[in-house]
Every structure is written in C-alpha cells, then in structure tokens.
Amino acid sequence: NAGVTQTPKFQVLKTGQSMTLQCAQDMNHNSMYWYRQDPGMGLRLIYYSASEGTTDKGEVPNGYNVSRLNKREFSLRLESAAPSQTSVYFCASRAGTGEVRAFFGQGTRLTVV
C-alpha cells in the first residue's frame, strides 16, 4: 500500500541548476499539494491541484512550476535553483469527495549550494 511516493529522497544541486521533484499517489485522490518545510516556519503551500487539469498558486510559488501530469502524478520543477530553495519538500494528496484526510509523502530533502 504505497500511498504517496516522492522521488528523489535527497538531492544536492548547484545554484542555477534545474530539477523536477516527482510525486505519485495510488489512492485515486483528486487533489494534490506541494509544501515546503523550513525550520521554525512550519509547512508552507507552494502550489496545489484541486483536480486533474487545474493548478493554483499557494503562499510561496515564486521560483517553482508544477505539472499535474494525470490524476496520479503532480511534479514540482525548479528552473534555476537558488540557495533559498534549500528545504524539505512534501507532496500530499486528498480525495476531495467525502474523505477529508490528507496523506503525505516522506519528503525530498533538497540542498542548493
């Protein structure tokens, strides 16, 4: 029972490099979310997708793009990484119909040097 799977688990980037964080869920959920976690800041919403085919900005979208590839997959792209994007990134999903719980992946720990 995989739930929400994120890849990679760890990544080190040089400033200016690009990368895509992958997220997939196998629970047939409609909504998917990307959060970042920084010490003392809690979780802040970067982007979300309320349903397949839609995406919306969250609290801290600058420097990121997202793609809702299909119902299962929601990727987060850093086009030109900056040290300020060093963080732990979490993907989450939620059914959106009847089921109110949100489930999280194990996180991607990204360091930009």
At which residue do the structure tokens 């409609």 appear?
30
- What string marks each residue from 52 to 71 as x (binds other proteins by CB under 8 A) or -? ------x-------------
Q: Is 106 in the site for other proteins (CB under 8 A)?
A: yes
Say if CB 71 and CB 53 are below 8 A apart: no
- What string marks each residue from 4 to 33 as x (binds other proteins by CB under 8 A) or -? --------------------------xx-x
At which residue do the structure tokens 């920084």 appear?
38
Annotate 18-28 with b (16+ C-beta within 10 A) or e (fewer): eeebbbbbeee
Please select the residue that binds other proteins; options are 8, 15, 41, 77, rule is CB under 8 A.
Answer: 41
- In the bound state with other proteins, the residue whose beta carbon lies nearer, of 44 and 71, is 44
- In the bound state with other proteins, the residue whose beta carbon lies nearer, of 40 and 62, is 40
What are residue 67's DSSP bridge partners? 75
* Nearest distance in Å: CB 34, other proteins: 10
DSSP-derived letter for residue 3 is: -
* CA pair distance 8, 31, nearest whole angstrom: 21
Tokens found for residue 18: 């690009």
Q: Which residues bind other proteins (CB under 8 A)?
A: 30-31, 33, 35, 40-45, 48, 50-51, 58, 90, 92, 94, 96-97, 100-107
